[in-house]
Amino acid sequence: GNSVTQMEGPVTLSEEAFLTINCTYTATGYPSLFWYVQYPGEGLQLLLKATKADDKGSNKGFEATYRKETTSFHLEKGSVQVSDSAVYFCALTFNQAGTALIFGKGTTLSVSS
Amino acid sequence: GAVVSQHPSRVICKSGTSVKIECRSLDFQATTMFWYRQFPKQSLMLMATSNEGSKATYEQGVEKDKFLINHASLTLSTLTVTSAHPEDSSFYICSAKGTSDTQYFGPGTRLTVL
């Protein structure tokens, strides 16, 4: 079946540290991959996406590259800020009508100043 | 970007009453809307998928008679929690999908059943 596995948190970093949150997937076919971010008490916001192998999604200093050979989509940021503290979800879906997202369990990031 | 709204953002109700939550896509037509439930510090659990004008498809273990979903138009879906009980207290989130593969999420509704 299709699934997403992401590293368990919480991840605790100091401001300006380098961030990596690992995400791997299992899928039949060729999914699109996403990172969503959830701030406390809010819904999910799309952070970035990639739709095919070797695509790099980027937004707000975050990046992730769709690696088909390793079935991975790791999230990285060179210098985190306190405002990046949130829960990050890796997810996949297929570009077919009515297909839902399959989420990882989420990784909590806490950045201190 | 695409915007999805939910109303209300918070609701407190007495046990046994019904609560309706609205989900609207504000600037695009949502051919498919999804309803999720999220428990504290956990991931989102898909409850059901609804396509405009069709009956919703519920995930295994989700009671369709308890969680009524209506997707009457391309911009509106509603979730009604019928005869709510304290164990239904949760954070309910909707998402909407148009012609692309990207889902856009609403801000969520915090339901507390006393």
Query: Tokens in use for A10?
Result: 């919480």
Q: Closest-CA residue in chain B for A42?
A: B107
Q: Measure CA B38 to chain center.
A: 11
Bridging pattern class, strands B109-113 and B10-13: parallel
Q: Give the pLDDT band (50/70/90) at residue B54.
A: confident
> For A100, which of B49, B100, B105 is closest by C-beta distance?
B49
Backbone angles phi, psi at A64, to 5 degrees: -155, 140
Q: Does residue A98 register a pLDDT over 70?
A: no
Q: Does residue A29 register a pLDDT over 90?
A: no
Q: Give the pLDDT band (50/70/90) at residue B42.
A: confident
Report yes or no: A37 and A47 within 8 Å, Cβ to Cβ: yes
The string over A66-78, giving b where at least 16 C-beta atoms fall within 10 Å of a residue's C-beta and e elsewhere, is: bbeeeebbbbebe
Choose, out of A4, A44, A93, A102, the residue to mutate when testing the contact with B (most B CBs < 10 Å). A44
- The answer, for B67 touching chain A at a CB cutoff of 8 Å, is no
pLDDT digits (tens, 9 = 90+) for A38-64: 998 888 999 999 999 999 999 999 999
Q: Closest-CA residue in chain A for B59?
A: A100
Please report residues of A whose CB lies closer than 8 A to that of B107: 42-43
Query: Tokens in use for A21?
Result: 């949150």
Considering only A11-15, A28-32, A87-91, which range has the smallest mean pLDDT?
A28-32
Report yes or no: A89 and A108 within 8 Å, Cβ to Cβ: no
Taking the C-alpha atoms of residue B46 and residue B69, their distance in angstroms, rounded to an integer, is 13
Choose, out of A23, A32, A38, the residue to mutate when testing the contact with B (most B CBs < 10 Å). A38
Which residues make Cβ contacts (< 8 Å) with residue B23, sequence separation at least 6?
B4, B5, B6, B33, B35, B76, B77, B78, B79, B94, B96, B106
Task: Give me the mean pLDDT over the A10-33 stretch.
Answer: 95
Q: Distance from A98 to chain B by nearest Cα, in Å?
A: 6
Q: Measure CA B110 to chain center.
A: 11
- Position B72 scores a pLDDT of 82
Q: Distance from B82 to chain A by nearest Cα, in Å?
A: 23
